[in-house]
Chains A and B, each alone.
Chain A
Amino acid sequence: MTTSELQAAVRQRDGGVAVIDLQGDVNSSAEHALNDAYALATAGGPGSVVLNFERADYINSTGIALIVGLLAQARTKGIEMRAFGLSDHYREIFEITRLSDFMTIADNEDRAVGGPEGSNDA
């Protein structure tokens, strides 16, 4: 059972959208990677941040807490956060925790980058 520490890479898309590509486990040891990536993504003051969960293997409650923390920061700055690439199971968790009420969950990257017009249904 190999656990993999989270790696987060930032890339810019059109319209001031920064995409954070997550690879590995979103758990307690992901804190630094996530925070660093977020800081990098919001350094130039973009309008929105998109979290890419396509290659995130595992998200636990501590990971949820980290995401909540990021979301809180984003809201104070007026930055919108969106997400895509979640499995059905994790989508369900986002819904149970009501994260999906504050973060748009999209089916794919383009939809997520596209913004509020992107689909939000499961």
Chain B
Amino acid sequence: MSAPSRRRSPQALWATCGAIAALSLLAAGAELHLLVGWPAHADGPVAVASLGLAAGLVCGRLRFTRGAAAQALRTVVVAGGLTMLILTFYVVIVIGLGESPHGTERNVLGLSMAAALVALAFSGPVRTRLRELADRWIGESVQPATTALETFGARMTRAVPIDELLLQLAETLRASIAPGGAEIWTAADGTLDLSTSVPERPRPRVLLDAHERDVVAHAGVSGNTWIGVWIPALLAGRETSAVRVAPIAHLGELLGLIVVFRSGEDPYGAEEDRVLGELARQVGLALHNVQLDSTIQKSLAELEVARLIQLNFLPKELPDLPGWEVAACYRPARVVGGDFYDVIPLPAGRFAFLVGDVTDKGVPAALVMSATRSLLRASATRLFDPGQVLERVNDQLFPDMPEKMFVTCIYGVLDPETGVLRFANAGHDLPYVRTADGVIELRARGMPLGLMQGSQYEEKEATLAPGYGVLLHSDGIAEAHNADREMFGFPRLKQTMADGPRGQALIDRVLSELETFTGPGAEQEDDITMVTLVRSAGEGHVSAPAGSVLAEFEVPSEAGNEREVMERVGSAVADLGLESARLQRLKTAVAETTMNAMEHGNEYQADRPVSIRVLYSTDRVRVQITDRGDPGELAETDAPDLEAKLEGRQTPRGWGMFLIEKMVDETRVTSEGGGHTVELAMRLEGDGDDNE
């Protein structure tokens, strides 16, 4: 909806044009008739007038002729009006004098009117030319003040540094309205410094108090008298000059002055004041932008320093624990973040591991993060129980926590010798532990820190056996969205851990899955933090305690890959002392099971790998082969009957499962959301003929 406009439509313009033309023609005709007796009859003028009117109406129906209509109207009004003027004067003078021209007198009168009209037509352009000539004689090619405005306006749009811009302005002013000199002053907190002057003439700075600053900032372009009252220093040495000052201000703040001088006998006029005021306004904008840029640069520099300080609050290096692998990852969503993690050495070789998350992100979260982290550190080395540490920190944070902010935190103390992890949780995301039987969550109840005075925190324990891994994380991972607003989610994270990678490999895998999920170039929504601990399975397999994972890997579901699996499992158990024939049986069983998994479970789909895990427990080796088939789809098949096959009563196939069961001591099938696992167990002790 556009605002009502006073612009008249082309139709109206054309119509008016036609009407005025018609009227003028009629009136002119009448007056001419009076003066010179021509036109003799009214028909001629009336006809022409009607034509003009009709033409106007017709043109009004044409589209897109507004510009032409406006121009025509202007021409008609000016021409018609001036013509009427001349003719009317003639009528008044001639008739008024009581004369009544006849015969040849009429001819002379007619010619003289024509001459007058022609002269009038030429008067406009001739006047301009004459004026220029006179101006040229008066001054030394003085440009009109408006040129300065145009020049400066054009220059402002180019990327000229501010100093050069001011210099060019001063020079332009000197060339146009300030032959005595031009100065540009800049102000900073009431101190006025001469920034540029043409000709160059150093001047001492001028100090203004708050009130003077305010008055000057709001003043318009002013002259000697005003300057003498408010900024008398400007007049020093210029008492006989005509001085003009235009304050440069932006939003009521004084940013500088434009000062121009010339001979006292040639005072400044209103037009020049107007130009000075406009220039001052434009310079004000330019100076304001320069200030803004500098403020932004400072803020960015400060933020960068804040980022480095925050990094200092994170562990500079991770401890080197024999028998353990510790890895971590910290990625704030913005320059600074609200997530944090810490690894704190405690007496008796123990370590505290924690991951925390402050609500929100950015600078406010970072500030709360550093306070929380310091409190946690202080308590960690005095109170050893995770629950007590969180209780104490909560009570310290609560009074000072800004409204609607709180901190979640998972805090655990690990004894590397025994693998016991004692932990408490202040409302943080549940850590995952990869055990021999899959991924489990560690749960302990407690409210986020800083939310309520006196909160209690439940303590629990978990034992990390060799090969086990624990992942502490924050919700930046699970809460990442893809283009369809689908969440990455905790199940995916859990599955990534269940797939097998450990330690730094797990972190890398999570990050790459996240990137694949959110899509390339997606902005990170929330801080991402991970800490993972893995207990090594150990070197000498035979002497390793029960539950060791000897190998784990996965292979794509492609025919032929079962050979690779067979060989890798074979080398993984090579040191266990399995008798040769039994080892071969195990390998065959592994190959057959893998083939089943690839074919029936994963349907030979490339994106569904088969996962293999080889475990060693006290008296046997276990191989777990997992596919991604739908649960509950295990087909029961009849035992193969060779005679029936030879007689064509059974398909020749179907030997896989039969062989598997015959080759190993135990087979067990489990299925959970995500696939089936067939576990083959082979006792380490037993003769070559020990099978059913």
Interface segment, one of B289-297, B314-322, B638-646: B638-646
What's the least CB distance linking B651 to chain A, in Å? 8
Please, what's the 1-or-0 string for B557-584, where 1 marks a CB less than 8 Å from any CB in chain A?
0011011100100000000000001001
Which residues of A13-35 have CB atoms within 8 Å of chain B's CB atoms?
A: 25, 27-29
Which residues of A53-80 have CB atoms within 8 Å of chain B's CB atoms?
A: 58, 60-62, 64-66, 68-69, 71-72, 75
What's the least CB distance linking B451 to chain A, in Å? 57
Please, what's the 1-or-0 string for B538-565, where 1 marks a CB less than 8 Å from any CB in chain A?
0000000000000000000001101110
Interface segment, one of A40-48, A89-97, A109-117: A89-97
Contact A60–B646 (Cβ < 8 Å): no
> Which of B559, B585, B652 has the most A CB atoms < 10 Å from its CB?
B652
| Known pairs A65-B652, A66-B652; A1 contacts B564 (CB<8 A) | yes
Judged by DSSP, the binding face of B is: helix
Residues of A within 8 A of B655 (CB): 61, 64-65, 97
Docked Cα-Cα span, A68 to B651, in Å, equals: 9
| Known pairs A61-B592, A102-B646; A93 contacts B652 (CB<8 A) | no
> Which of A27, A66, A68, A71 has the most B CB atoms < 10 Å from its CB?
A68
Contact B581–A89 (Cβ < 8 Å): yes
Docked Cα-Cα span, A66 to B651, in Å, equals: 10
Residues of A within 8 A of B560 (CB): 3, 27
Docked Cα-Cα span, A27 to B646, in Å, equals: 19
**Does A88 have its Cβ within 8 Å of any Cβ on chain B?**
yes
**Does B269 have its Cβ within 8 Å of any Cβ on chain A?**
no
Contact A89–B588 (Cβ < 8 Å): yes
Docked Cα-Cα span, A97 to B660, in Å, equals: 12
Smallest Cβ-Cβ distance to A68: which chain B residue: B652
Interface range on chain B (Cβ under 8 Å from partner): 20 to 34
Residues of A within 8 A of B654 (CB): 65
Query: Contact check: which of B564, B591, B647 meets A60 at CB < 8 Å?
Result: B591
| Known pairs A61-B659, A93-B659, A97-B655; A75 contacts B581 (CB<8 A) | no
Residues of A within 8 A of B653 (CB): 61-62, 65
Docked Cα-Cα span, A1 to B565, in Å, equals: 10
**Does A101 have its Cβ within 8 Å of any Cβ on chain B?**
yes
Contact B581–A101 (Cβ < 8 Å): no
**Does B110 have its Cβ within 8 Å of any Cβ on chain A?**
no
Which residues of B37-60 have CB atoms within 8 Å of chain A's CB atoms?
A: none
Contact A60–B645 (Cβ < 8 Å): no
Docked Cα-Cα span, A104 to B591, in Å, equals: 26
Contact A72–B591 (Cβ < 8 Å): no
**Does A9 have its Cβ within 8 Å of any Cβ on chain B?**
no
Docked Cα-Cα span, A120 to B560, in Å, equals: 32
Query: Contact check: which of B585, B592, B642 meets A89 at CB < 8 Å?
Result: B585
Contact B563–A58 (Cβ < 8 Å): yes
**Does B648 have its Cβ within 8 Å of any Cβ on chain A?**
yes
Residues of A within 8 A of B651 (CB): 65
Contact B591–A71 (Cβ < 8 Å): no
**Does B662 have its Cβ within 8 Å of any Cβ on chain A?**
yes
Docked Cα-Cα span, A61 to B396, in Å, equals: 68
Contact A71–B595 (Cβ < 8 Å): no
Extra inter-chain contacts (16) besides given A61-B595, A62-B653, A65-B651, CB under 8 Å:
A25-B563, A27-B560, A60-B562, A61-B655, A61-B658, A65-B653, A66-B652, A68-B652, A69-B652, A71-B646, A72-B652, A88-B581, A89-B585, A96-B659, A97-B640, A99-B642
